[in-house]
């Protein structure tokens, strides 16, 4: 029976080998480490041990198997030596699975042990209007910001952020001077709360096969890499608190790091997602065509909106094109024009919407929409709408939708 357990502060690196070793529970420490070191791949790929800038080293994760401290899972009924068959598995060494191969990109060295649940701190969004929390802002020079940007550009946790989120996150990084040589920034086995980017100086990375720093002169274990300016480490701490997978130590009398803690990082992502959802929901509520939807249906639509940016003087909708999507104006200004009519027939500002009748059918657009400034719109395609909520006509629940040509020249039925 699996228990949820946040990773323990006691690192047990070995346990992914657990089931593999069932039946032959005596495995050496080295074997255990070989199987489960989360950093193996990273370090093996780097021949010299030097890590190119921008490579985020290990997240600091030893997988812990709460409770099963011995690593070898001892079954009273030894299921891995089932007398009724499976003779090919009795060696403890698993043959590659049929049909799986490296060329298909499936790892053949999958660790078959029981997996521990992980969990981060409970977070609740800041309600709009309440100012109980705002992200920390630590000023940086333009040069510093661009260096930090490139340092995290290859990290998927950062590369998926939009510009605003990205800026907020970079602003939240706090400078951490390391005033001397031989300072342990993080210690293998310790709880992980911060992610670090190197601004100045060099740091050495050590791994002890036991999974934690040991007392004594060789307690740090083996040096496996070094990290210079632009490098980063400890990224797993941005997900949840897992024991650090390595020790990182300063090698120069004066170095500088940038640090970001998990709660700040995840709060920034959460608050921006939360506020965007609520904003979209509020916008959608104003759309008469969608007014007969239930609130949770509108909230589903809010999830499905894609943000698209246009520069000034771009055309979002062409008059005469078949309509396939509905747009909400999130920021900026736009105007509607019609062939044969001089001047704009309507102006759009934040919270306005256009093209909503395209959710019903693909009749040609009755006007063009052009941006007057840089514009951000949220787009919902008819296909996406249908997929999510079913046929649009059915969703309207018989509500008569008043066609208001003044309000919505784009979508006016022909």
Residues between 136 and 175 that touch another protein (CB under 8 A): 156-157, 160
The site map against another protein for 17-36 (x = CB under 8 A) is: --x----------------x
**Closer to another protein at the Cβ: 100 or 128?**
100
Pairing state of beta strands 184-186 and 247-250?
antiparallel
Please tell me whether residue 199 binds another protein under the rule CB under 8 A: no
Question: Rounded to the nearest whole angstrom, what is the least distance from the CB of residue 273 to another protein in the complex?
Answer: 4
- Number of Cβ within 10 Å of residue 2's Cβ equals 11
> Residue from 21, 61, 366, 411 that binds another protein (CB under 8 A)?
61
Span interacting with another protein, options 123-131, 135-143, 247-255, 333-341, rule CB under 8 A: 123-131
Report DSSP letters for 236-247, one per residue. Answer: GGGTS----SSE
Binding region for another protein (CB under 8 A) out of 178-186, 211-219, 264-272, 349-357: 264-272
Beta-carbon contacts of 187 under 8 Å, excluding residues fewer than 6 positions away, are 212, 213, 244, 247
* Inter-axis angle of helices 295-304 and 382-389, nearest 10: 140
- Alpha helix positions (H), 122-236: 142-152, 156-159, 163-172
- HSE-CB at 100 with a 13 A cutoff on CA atoms is 10
Q: Which stretch binds another protein (CB under 8 A): 76-84, 138-146, 355-363, 368-376?
A: 76-84
Q: Check residue 282 for interaction with another protein (CB under 8 A).
A: no
DSSP assignments along 255-275, one per residue: EEEEEEEHHHHHHHHHHHHHH
- Residue 193 region, left (φ>0) first, then alpha (ψ -120 to 50), else beta? alpha
Among 91, 164, 285, 303, contact with another protein (rule: CB under 8 A)? 303
Q: Is 393 in the site for another protein (CB under 8 A)?
A: no
The answer to whether 411 touches 355, Cβ cutoff 8 Å, is: yes
* Min separation Cβ 115 and another protein, Å: 5
14 binds another protein (CB under 8 A): no
Q: How many residues does the chain have?
A: 414
Q: Which of 52, 177, 179, 390 binds another protein (CB under 8 A)?
A: 390
Q: Which is nearer to another protein, 208 or 365 (CB)?
A: 208
Stretch in the footprint of another protein (CB under 8 A) among 54-62, 179-187, 199-207, 370-378: 54-62
The Cα–Cα gap between 24 and 57 comes to 33
Using CB under 8 A, which of the segments 252-260, 319-327, 348-356, 382-390 binds another protein? 382-390
Collect all residues with Cβ–Cβ distance below 8 Å to 39 and sequence separation of at least 6: 57, 58, 207, 224, 245, 246
Q: Considering the complex, state which of residue 239 and residue 358 has its C-beta at the smaller distance from another protein.
A: 239
Q: Which stretch binds another protein (CB under 8 A): 132-140, 247-255, 299-307, 325-333?
A: 299-307
Q: Report the residue number, 256 or 292, with the smaller CB distance to another protein.
A: 292
């Amino acid at each position: 029976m699996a228990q949820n357990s946040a990773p323990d502060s006691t690192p047990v690196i070995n346990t992914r080998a657990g089931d593999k070793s069932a039946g032959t529970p005596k495995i050496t420490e080295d074997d255990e480490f070989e199987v489960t070191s989360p950093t193996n791949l990273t370090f093996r790929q780097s021949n010299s041990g030097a890590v190119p800038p921008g490579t985020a080293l290990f997240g600091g994760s030893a997988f812990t198997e709460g409770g099963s401290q011995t690593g070898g899972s001892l079954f009273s009924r030894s299921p891995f030596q089932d007398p009724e068959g499976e003779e090919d598995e009795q060696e403890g060494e698993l043959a590659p699975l049929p049909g799986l191969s490296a060329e298909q990109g499936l790892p053949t060295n999958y660790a078959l042990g029981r997996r521990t649940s992980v969990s981060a701190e409970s977070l609740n969004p800041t309600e709009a209007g309440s100012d109980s929390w705002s992200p920390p802002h630590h000023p940086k020079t333009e040069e510093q910001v661009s260096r930090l940007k490139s340092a995290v550009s290859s990290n998927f946790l950062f590369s998926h952020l939009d510009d605003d989120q990205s800026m907020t996150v970079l602003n939240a990084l706090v400078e951490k001077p390391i005033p001397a040589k031989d300072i342990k920034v993080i210690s293998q086995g310790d709880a992980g709360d911060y992610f670090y980017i190197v601004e100045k100086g060099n740091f050495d990375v050590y791994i002890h096969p036991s999974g934690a720093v040991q007392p004594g002169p060789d307690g740090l274990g083996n040096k496996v890499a070094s990290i210079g300016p632009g490098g980063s480490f400890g990224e797993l701490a941005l997900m949840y608190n897992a024991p650090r997978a390595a020790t990182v130590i300063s090698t120069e009398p004066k170095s500088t790091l940038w640090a970001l803690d998990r709660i700040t990082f995840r709060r920034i992502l959460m608050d921006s997602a939360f506020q965007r959802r609520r904003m979209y929901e509020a916008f959608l509520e104003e759309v008469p065509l969608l007014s007969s939807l239930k609130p949770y249906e509108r909230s589903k639509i809010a999830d499905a909106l894609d943000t698209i940016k246009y520069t000034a003087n771009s055309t979002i909708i062409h008059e005469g094109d078949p309509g396939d999507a509905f747009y909400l104006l999130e920021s900026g200004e736009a105007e509607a024009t019609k062939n044969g009519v001089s001047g704009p027939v309507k102006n759009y500002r934040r919270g306005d919407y256009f093209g909503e009748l395209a959710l019903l059918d693909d009749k040609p657009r009755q006007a063009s929409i052009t941006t007057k400034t840089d514009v951000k719109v949220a787009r919902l395609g008819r296909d996406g709408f249908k997929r999510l909520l079913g046929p649009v006509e059915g969703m309207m629940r018989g509500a008569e939708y008043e066609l208001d040509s003044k309000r919505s020249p784009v979508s006016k039925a022909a």
